[in-house]
Amino acid sequence: MANYKKRGNGWQARISWYSGDGQRHNKSKAGFPTKLLAKKWATEQEAKLNQGVNIGKEITLVDYYDQWVKTYKEPKVAPITMRLYQLTGNRLKTYFPGVKIKDITRGQYQEFINWYGKDHAPQSVKKLNMAVRGCVRSAILDDYLIKDFTQGVTLTANDNKKVKVDYLNLAEIKQLIETTQAGITKHRYTSRYMILTAIYTGMRLSEIQALTWKDIDFIHHTISINKSWNAADRSFKPTKNKSSVRTIKINHKLIALLGQLAASRQSNLVFMNQYGTVPTSNAVNKTLRSLLEALNIHRSGFHFHSLRHSHVALLLAKGVDIYAISKRLGHSNTATTSQIYAYLIDEYKDQTDNQIVTILDNI
Domain covering 170-334 in this structure, CATH number:
1.10.443.10
Q: What's the pLDDT score for residue 66?
A: 95
Q: What's phi and psi for 208, nearest 5 deg?
A: -70, -45
pLDDT digits (tens, 9 = 90+) for 232-278: 788 898 888 888 999 999 999 999 999 988 887 778 999 998 888 89
What's the confidence (pLDDT) of residue 309? Answer: 87
Separation CA 32–CA 281 (nearest Å): 61
CA 363, CA 286: separation in Å to the nearest integer? 52
Secondary structure (3-state) at 28: strand
Q: Kindly report the average pLDDT of the chain as a whole number.
A: 86
* Chain CA centroid to CA 216, Å: 28
Q: First and final CA of the chain: distance in angstroms?
A: 79
Grouping H, G, I as helix, E, B as strand and the rest as coil, residue 267 is: coil
Residues 302-323 pLDDT 10s: 899 999 988 888 888 787 888 8
Class of domain 61-161: mainly alpha
DSSP output for 56-94: T---BHHHHHHHHIIIIITTTS-HHHHHHHHHHHHHHHH
**In this structure, are strands 2-7 and 10-18 parallel, antiparallel, or unpaired?**
antiparallel
Identify the CA nearest to 240 among candidates 281, 204, 195.
204
Q: What is the pLDDT of residues 325-347, one digit of tens each?
A: 899 988 888 877 777 776 666 66
Q: Taking Cα atoms as reference points, which of 32, 24, 27, 26 lies closest to residue 5?
A: 32
Cα 351 from chain centroid (whole Å):
31
pTM, to two decimals: 0.65
Residue-wise pLDDT tens digits, 27-76: 888 888 888 888 888 888 788 777 666 666 778 999 999 999 999 998 88
Nearest 10 degrees: CA dihedral of 239, 240, 243, 249? -60
Q: What is the C-alpha radius of gyration for the chain, rounded to an integer number of angstroms?
A: 28
Residues in the chain: 363
Other beta carbons less than 10 A from residue 6's beta carbon:
10
CB 238 within 8 A of CB 207: no
Numbers of helices and strands, H then E, in the chain? 15, 8
SS3 content of the chain, % helix, strand, coil (to 5): 55, 10, 35
Is 25:19 a contact under the CB 8 Å cutoff?
Answer: yes
Task: Grade residue 90 by pLDDT with cuts at 50, 70 and 90.
Answer: very high
- Give the integer Cα–Cα distance in Å for 33 and 198: 68
**Tens of pLDDT, residues 93-144:** 999 999 999 889 999 999 999 999 999 988 899 999 999 999 999 998 888 8
pLDDT confidence of residue 239: 87
Residue 214 confidence (pLDDT):
95
Q: What is the pLDDT of residue 199?
A: 94
Q: Give the pLDDT of residue 46.
A: 81
Residue 272 sits at φ, ψ, to 5 deg, of -75, 130
Which amino acid, one-letter code, is at 229? Answer: W
Cβ 239 vs Cβ 330: under 8 Å = yes
